[in-house]
Amino acid sequence: MPARVKYLVFRTFQALIVLGIVILIFSALFNSVSEEQLQTRIRQTVTGRVRNSPELQQLSDEELKEWRENEIEKLRNRWGLNQPVWKRIFMDAWDRMTLDFGKSYMMTAPSGSRQVMDIIMSRLPRTILLFTTAAVIYVFLGLVVGLKAAQVAGGKLDRFLSIFGMTSSSMPMWWLGMLAILVFAYQLGWFPSTAMPLPQTTGLDYYLGVLYRLALPLATIVFNIFGARAWVTRNIVTDVLQDDYIMAARAKGVPERKVIYGHTLRTAAPPVVTSALLSLLMSIGGAMITEVVFNWPGIGLLTRIAILQNDTPVVMGVMFITSAMYIFGYLVADLLYGLLDPRVEVGTSRSMS
């Protein structure tokens, strides 16, 4: 088997193990609450039936007690509460794996469905829109600024970047969002402070309206991340610039432009791309909380609402989808690194993290 295919298979297998572990953690944790909740529900159902049936009320206390016990037993069987714990955890894990997260306690999707998956799917595109747009911008900006700084190491831009990168990455992304609202929405009134309600128009107007609401959260995410991205790029590129063949190229009189964009970038690409993908994954959490601050109706805001309403199935569903995206993204980053850098073999761990 060629080394690359072997690498691909190995990493995919590893990702599947991670996914399995995460699913089991989720199901084991969820099992403890779902048992309590189901028991309450069973008790309520049985009491409700007794109240609504005149025939049952005719029965003597003894008979009624017996009937209730029978009924509870029947329901417990139906909900699977009589199964051993491990079996219930595995059943639950299976549901999760097939993306069946059950029904929400109180929320509905715009289609009227109460399935957690439908609710998530109605909001996921908005999160992806915000997140990927921001990612494209900051990856690009980070690359450009990082390269510029590396060209004149120790220069003004380089020094500024090191401070800026350090400062911006010690700020919570969503806090920057709050400051942005204070300045650009409250003080200057340039942008709306909340993304809701989304525009009701159609066509171009709709897209412009969305863009108008998207501007502040986008700028927040980009501002928070691109400094550190540029700094990482700068470090990788300066590393490569020390290599002998670059020195040789320079000595040979290859134009500086060509040295940077041709020779250097080709060598620097694998770690730059992987670290960009990894920072993308790292920022998922921050971006979800940023949604809360801007009222952007994606899955981050959904999580916040579900937490406030104690809607455990929805919280679990969103968190599972997020985890799955993270694990998948991590796998892609790994594979891409292997693909871009021919030196990678199975078993050699990546030097970056």
Residues within the interface to another protein (CB under 8 A):
14-15, 17-18, 21-22, 25-26, 29-30, 32-33, 153-154, 162-163, 166-167, 169-172, 174-175, 178-179, 181-182, 185-187, 193-194, 235, 238, 242, 281, 284-286, 288-289, 292-293, 303-304, 307-308, 312, 315-316, 319-320, 322-323, 326-327, 330-331, 347, 349, 351, 353
Q: Which of 108, 169 has the CB closer to another protein? A: 169
Find the shortest distance in angstroms from Cβ 111 to another protein: 26
CB 38 within 8 A of CB 79: yes
Q: Which of 113, 295 has the CB closer to another protein? A: 295
Type of residue found at 44: Q
Nearest to 298 by CA among 107, 113, 136, 119: 119
Q: Which of 64, 323 has the CB closer to another protein? A: 323
Q: How far apart are CA 219 and CA 134, in angstroms?
A: 8
Find the shortest distance in angstroms from Cβ 172 to another protein: 5
Q: Which of 170, 202 has the CB closer to another protein? A: 170
Nearest to 185 by CA among 216, 211, 163, 210: 216
CA atoms within 13 A on the CB side of 24: 9
Q: Which of 80, 285 has the CB closer to another protein? A: 285
Find the shortest distance in angstroms from Cβ 59 to another protein: 39
Q: How far apart are CA 64 and CA 74, in angstroms?
A: 15
Nearest to 298 by CA among 312, 309, 284: 284
Return the structure tokens found at 208: 């412009």
Find the shortest distance in angstroms from Cβ 6 to another protein: 15
Find the shortest distance in angstroms from Cβ 222 to another protein: 18
SS3 102: coil
CB 157 within 8 A of CB 241: no
Q: How far apart are CA 293 and CA 280, in angstroms?
A: 20
Q: Which of 35, 71 has the CB closer to another protein? A: 35
Find the shortest distance in angstroms from Cβ 316 to another protein: 6
